[in-house]
Structures are given as C-alpha cells and as structure tokens.
C-alpha cells in the first residue's frame, strides 16, 4: 500500500511539472505587457480621438490582480511608449453589456489609431442603439471600418481570446481559437472613411511599425478588462519591415 501511495505521489508531482514545461515551451519568446499591478509602466494614457492630445482629466488605467482595467472617464487610449514592427500578440478581454474597446496596432504618435494605424475591434453589439444595423466591419474581429471578420465569434460577458500576428503587410487574427482574418494589406484598395467622412490612409499604406494600444469607450459603468497580454517580436531579416516593404 505504501509503495502504491508513493507511486501516486510521484505521478502527481510529475504531471503538473510536465504541463508547466509544455506551456513554457509554447510560450517561449513571449514577454508580458503588464507584468505588475498598479499604473502600467511604459504606457501613457492619451485622448481617444487623437493620441497626440492629453486624455480627459483624471483618466487612469490600472492593473489589479493581473487584470488591466480601462479608464474612468471613458474616451482614452492606453499607448505603449515602445514601437513594434512584426510580432504575435496574445491577450484575453472581457466587456460589459455596453462595452466598446479596441486594440491599436502599429499606429503613430498622432491621429486616430483606427485610421492612421490599425484597430482590431472589440465591442459588444449592445453598445449600439437597438435600431441600428451595425456593419460587420464595426463588430468584434474586424479591422475597424475596413475589413469584416469571417464570422462573428464574440462571447458576451465572458473572456474572449485574441491572437494577432503581423509580418510585413500580412495580418492574421484568431478569435477564441478560430481564424477570423487572414489578409495582405497590399491587396486592400477599398476606401475607408473616418468618423467625419474624410478618407483615411489606405490600408496598403498604413505604417509597418508603430505603437500598440488599448481603447476605452465603454458605456454603462463597466470597463474593458485585459489579461494575459503578451507579445513575441520577430527580428529576423525575412520578417522585418525592411524585408517586406519600406516603413511608411
């Protein structure tokens, strides 16, 4: 009996360690974006409409128990000080009933990330007025107002998982484990309109290097929540911006 119990103990010790080793192998090369609680180091809060401007008075993002909490008041971007070129970004997000957020990709230090860089949409459809027919390219999984996802996989009031890979002008997005975008920006010629009706920069001419960011536009008192955000950069010549196209 003692020998049997000893074998069970050894098995219990080995299995978790093996699982941890496999997880570490899968995540090799990834770095956490928000490793500590408190105000995120290496990030700045900026205005929603133009990231060169200061945010609303008192707006602050914070990490609580490992979860990034969106700002109060709304109408902000949390912007990385660092710029990124080619990478895989993974994170989970959760929205309230009227939640509206977004993940900004490769945007400059001015303008609206949705139109001067790229914005991967994160929104609960209930954010919009009930009578409004929302275009698919404004729902979760889209490049905002530009490219609609293959299918709608957003889970209301639950944790959703994004995996985003950018190499040169190619972008792939998985939402909750399924592919929703797989495009080459150089092939995209459809005009994209800004909120004021003006033409935005064409997708094929968007920057190949820029800041990352998370947006807070939620209504109803609930903030966007982000957890397990981590990034792996690609630095080999083949996948660098210069190896595909010149940085715009």
45 has a pLDDT exceeding 70 = yes
Strand-pairing partners, residue 174, are: 163, 179
Q: What is the mean pLDDT of residues 18-30?
A: 58
Q: What is the mean pLDDT of residues 197-215?
A: 97
Give the per-residue pLDDT at 236. 67
Residues 13 and 43 in one domain: no
Residues 89 and 188 in one domain: yes
pLDDT for 85-116, tens place per residue?
999 999 999 999 999 999 999 999 999 999 99
Check if the beta carbon of residue 101 is closer than 8 Å to that of residue 217: yes
238 has a pLDDT exceeding 90 = no
Give the per-residue pLDDT at 26. 52
Domain with 24 in it: 1-31
Residues 7 and 107 in one domain: no
Residues 125 and 20 in one domain: no
Give the per-residue pLDDT at 63. 98
Residues 25 and 105 in one domain: no
Give the per-residue pLDDT at 237. 44
Residues 157 and 132 in one domain: yes
CA–CA dist 242, 165 (Å, integer):
17
Check if the beta carbon of residue 188 is closer than 8 Å to that of residue 146: yes
Check if the beta carbon of residue 89 is closer than 8 Å to that of residue 212: yes
Q: What is the mean pLDDT of residues 226-239?
A: 84
Residues 24 and 76 in one domain: no
Kindly state the tokens that stand for 27. 């995540």
pLDDT for 108-156, tens place per residue?
999 999 999 999 999 999 999 999 999 999 999 999 999 999 999 999 9
Q: Which of 103, 98, 99, 96 is nearest to 77 (CA)?
A: 103
Residues 5 and 48 in one domain: no
Percent of all residues in the chain with a pLDDT value above 90, rounded to a whole number: 82
Q: What is the mean pLDDT of residues 48-62?
A: 97
For residue 183, the SS3 value is: strand
pLDDT for 169-178, tens place per residue?
999 999 999 9
Give the per-residue pLDDT at 137. 98
Instruction: Please count the structural domains in the chain.
Output: 2
Give the per-residue pLDDT at 98. 97
Q: What is the mean pLDDT of residues 221-246?
A: 74
Query: pTM, whole model, 2 decimals?
Result: 0.86
Residues 15 and 82 in one domain: no
Residues 57 and 14 in one domain: no
Give the per-residue pLDDT at 69. 98
CATH number at residue 68: 2.60.120.560
Residues 131 and 235 in one domain: yes
Give all strands (DSSP E) within the chain, no chain letters: 31-32, 43-47, 62-64, 67-69, 76-84, 87-94, 100-107, 118-123, 160-167, 170-175, 178-184, 210-216, 225-233
Residues 37 and 131 in one domain: yes
Mean pLDDT estimate for the chain: 89
């Amino acid at each position: 009996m003692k020998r049997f119990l000893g074998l069970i103990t050894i098995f219990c010790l080995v299995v978790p360690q093996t699982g941890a080793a496999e997880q570490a192998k899968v995540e090799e090369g990834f770095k956490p974006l928000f490793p500590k609680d408190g105000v995120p180091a290496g990030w700045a809060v900026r205005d929603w409409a133009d990231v060169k401007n200061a945010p609303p008075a008192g707006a602050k993002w914070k990490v609580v128990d490992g979860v990034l909490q969106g700002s109060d008041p709304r109408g902000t971007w949390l912007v990385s000080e660092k710029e990124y070129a080619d990478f895989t970004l993974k994170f989970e997000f959760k929205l309230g009933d009227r939640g509206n957020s977004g993940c900004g990709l490769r945007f400059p230090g001015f303008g609206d990330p949705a139109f001067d860089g790229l914005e991967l949409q994160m929104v609960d459809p209930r954010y919009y007025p009930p009578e409004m027919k929302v275009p698919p390219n404004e729902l979760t999984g889209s490049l905002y107002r530009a490219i609609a996802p293959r299918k709608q996989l957003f889970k209301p009031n639950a944790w959703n998982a994004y995996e985003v890979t950018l190499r040169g002008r190619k972008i792939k997005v998985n939402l909750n484990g399924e592919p929703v975008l797989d495009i080459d920006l150089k092939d995209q010629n459809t005009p994209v309109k800004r909120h004021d009706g003006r033409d935005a920069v064409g997708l094929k001419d968007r920057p190949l290097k820029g800041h990352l960011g998370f947006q807070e536009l939620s209504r109803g008192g609930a903030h966007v929540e982000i957890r397990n955000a981590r990034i792996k950069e690609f630095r080999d010549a083949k996948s660098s911006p210069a190896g595909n196209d010149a940085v715009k």
